[in-house]
Amino acid sequence: MSRNAFVRPACMTSARTHYCPGCGHGIAHRLVAETIDELEIRERTVGVAAVGCSILIYNYFDIDMQEAAHGRAPAVATGIKRVLPDRIVFTYQGDGDLASIGLAEIVHAAARGENITVVFVNNANYGMTGGQMAPTTLPGQKTTTTPRGRNVHLAGHPLRMAELLATLDGPSYLARVSLHNPVEVARAKKSIRKAFQCQLLGMGFSMVEVLSSCPNNWGMEPAKALEWVEKNMVPYYPLGVFRDAMAPASSREVTENRDESSPKREG
Ligand SMILES: Cc1ncc(C[n+]2csc(CCOP(=O)(O)OP(=O)(O)O)c2C)c(N)n1
Ligand code: SF4
């Protein structure tokens, strides 16, 4: 008996993506698409595209999409959700978009507890514009604007967005996941699904930070780039759940009081 190893999610179009070989955006798109199909929310989902390599995401999803100006996706999503509260609204943003130019928008949307879901792809650089330093670039990491490596005395320390937003009362679900191997991809899917479920239940702001590779700008083969995520990004950006309002009260206490360096894992 034969079994299909690959089935395109119904809410994805048949367009081929423009992403570089080994880029994490394609996997992240698929996880979001599978979630939309499984939760049967395709007809009422609105995606908000940001500015970055994923700007063309509206070509790949067969759902209602809205483009936002650089960094403003959480504000645009807020407007859509408030006017159309029965819609499921998500943003899809890179780290330059969300943690640099859009820092105020994401912090205030989270603080307000807006009932939207944010998929935040952290690839430690500005991908679309050629690999400049982002707020998430690791100490010592070489980029086009830090050719000798990020010097934290000059450029400051990287922002850990999931932890930063976990200091706020607004969010209902905050997690960091990674796409560096199949087990982590499966965990990432669980987190993305949970984030959308929080919105369906009207629980307020949810965000999943997805550690992702950018082999092109990192100057690495795709497999090496995945290794780089595991060896360099994961130690700096611990994986796990930082807020989970859906968890039973007892485990929620553990999650919220725990040492931030060892957050609870999904699945
Ligand atoms: C107001 C404004 N400033 C700057 C830019 C240039 N710009 C476009 S994409 C981008 C960086 C995107 O990087 P990121 O959000 O990390 O996404 P990635 O491409 O890595 O997925 C920048 C600086 C712009 N389009 N608009
Ligand atoms: S530049 Fe990086 S983030 Fe952009 S498509 Fe290529 S690998 Fe992906």
Q: Hey, what amino acid is at 223?
A: A
Tell me the average pLDDT across 43-47.
98
* pLDDT the model gives residue 66: 98
Q: How far is the CA of 127 from the centre of ligand 1 (A)?
A: 8
Residue 20 reports pLDDT greater than 80: yes
* pLDDT the model gives residue 264: 81
pLDDT per position as a tens digit, 87-127: 999 999 999 999 999 999 999 999 999 999 999 999 999 99
Ligand 1 atom with the smallest distance to the CA of 136 is 16
Average pLDDT across the chain, whole number: 94
The model carries a pTM of 0.95
- The number of the ligand nearest the C-alpha atom of 179 reads 2
Please list the alpha-helical segments (H only) found in 59-214.
73-83, 95-96, 103-112, 152-155, 161-165, 182-200
pLDDT band at 250 (very low <50, low <70, confident <90, very high): low
pLDDT per position as a tens digit, 218-239: 999 999 999 999 999 999 999 9
Using CB distances shorter than 6 Å, the residues near ligand 1 are 51-54, 70, 94-97, 101, 121, 123, 126-129, 134
- Report how far apart, in Å, the C-alpha atoms of 156 and of each of 129, 197, 246 are: 21, 36, 35
Using CB distances shorter than 6 Å, the residues near ligand 2 are 19-20, 23, 25, 53, 123, 127-128, 214-217
Angle (nearest 5°) at CA 164 between 162 and 168:
100
Dist CA 120 CA 99 (whole Å): 9
Residue 255 reports pLDDT greater than 70: no
Residues in the chain: 267
The fraction of the chain above a pLDDT of 90, given in percent, is 89
pLDDT band at 2 (very low <50, low <70, confident <90, very high): confident
* pLDDT the model gives residue 6: 81
pLDDT band at 257 (very low <50, low <70, confident <90, very high): very low
Residue 158 reports pLDDT greater than 70: yes
Among 48, 120, 129, residue to substitute to test ligand 1 (most atoms within 8 Å of Cβ): 129
Residue 135 reports pLDDT greater than 90: yes
Among 55, 120, 128, residue to substitute to test ligand 1 (most atoms within 8 Å of Cβ): 128
**Residue indicated by tokens 């640099």:** 100
Fold of 25-257: Rossmann fold (3.40.50)
